[in-house]
Structure 1
Amino acid sequence: MLIVIGGLPGTGKTTLARLLAARIDAVHLRVDTIEQAIVRSGLARHPVGPAGYVIGYALAEEHLRQGLTVIAESVNPLAVTRDSWHSAGIQAAVPVVEVEVVCSDPDEHRDRVATRSIDIPHLPLPDWQHVLDRDYESWNREHLVIDTAGQEPQQSLALLLRHLDHTGLNPHDPNPGARRPAERG
């Protein structure tokens, strides 16, 4: 299965993606890591543009075709990026679940952006004004929304796992999506 996780910087999507990947033994593809590798190669400077996403789509499809569950994590600010992740899952013939991570408390969100540390060497982190000014299109199809405001990361993970169970696409299930809709929930 492909689990696409998106959301603005500082919402907790990387933390959630890492926890989920460890819990379900999935491949975690992080576009920030791909983009910073491109910058380190000397082929580009920030902002990298679509290259990191395009590489991510190809890697996701490759891993999915090998039978691995993939968690694709990035801001996914535009419908075209979300559509491209979705297409990678469809091309690999696997179920796709889209998850938007939000932090509904603006003060908490601002504090997270201001106090987070760099976990990828030399990756430039946006400040609060850049987060506010970011182009971020509304999601145009059904997806899960995980609000991390006022929660510990493990609480957000538990909420995500419950949502995945309700979709009938439990990543622990050896045959995800096999249940008929009447059997879900």
Structure 2
Amino acid sequence: MKGRRLIIMAGLPGSGKSTVAAGFAKALGVPVISVDPLEAAMWRSGIPAAITGISAYVIAEAIAEENLKLGLTVIVDAVNPVDAARMAWVRLAERTNAALVFVECFCSDPAVHRKRIERRVREIAGMAEITWDRVEERRAEYEAWKVPRITVDTAMDDPAELVEHLLPLLRGE
């Protein structure tokens, strides 16, 4: 891999971003920092849910920064629905002189997307599975992108094939 990279996975819940992130992590031998387990850990420790969303992003950013300072590539797995969240990653990449790659996953088939949500079991202690209604609410909150990104439609393609296809881009080849 050519230099350290900050790979930011984005997309609605159930869009396939965690599955694709895990594939990237295995192929590249790098860690994934996922916002959901961080937020769930805060809930388990008694921190009110009203303040954990942004806090989980800030913690993920701090962990990513420490790893980037060590010269490591990092993958961050989070919805990243708003420009403010995305710009925090841009600033982190600038601070650490890391190459930044945004990968936005989406599922173009609503029936497939809904089925994923209704069947998914992630087993994150302290975190209930998201409902389809909440995914629709998140979709309404999702802001237009202002920074370049790679978009991946996960509706029909096998995640392993998507990972294999994108690896050269992530490696800077």
Q: TM-score, normalising length from structure 1?
A: 0.85
Of structures 1 and 2, the one scoring higher in RCO (CA 8 A, sep 6+) is 2
| Superposition misfits of 4+ residues, deviation over 3 angstroms | 162-165
**Structure 1 unaligned residues grouped into runs of 5+:** 171-185
> 1:79·1:140 contact (CA, 8 Å) conserved in 2?
yes
Aligned: 1:138 with 2:144: yes
Aligned to 2:43, which of 2, 15, 39?
39
Larger Rg, first or second structure (1 or 2): 1
State the 1:47 CA deviation.
Answer: 6.5
Aligned pairs, number: 167
Q: TM-score, normalising length from structure 2?
A: 0.91
Q: Structure 2 matches for 1:1-185, cutoff 5 A?
A: 1-45=5-49, 48-134=52-138, 135-164=141-170, 169-170=172-173
> 2:6·2:99 contact (CA, 8 Å) conserved in 1?
yes
Structure 2 counterpart SS, 1:11: coil
User: Quick one: percent identity of the two aligned structures?
Assistant: 37
Equivalent position amino acid for 2:116 in 1: R
Please provide the CA RMSD for this pair: 1.4
Distance in 1 of aligned mates of 2:132 and 2:46: 28
**Structure 2 unaligned residues grouped into runs of 5+:** none
State the 1:152 CA deviation.
Answer: 1.6
More helix by share: 2
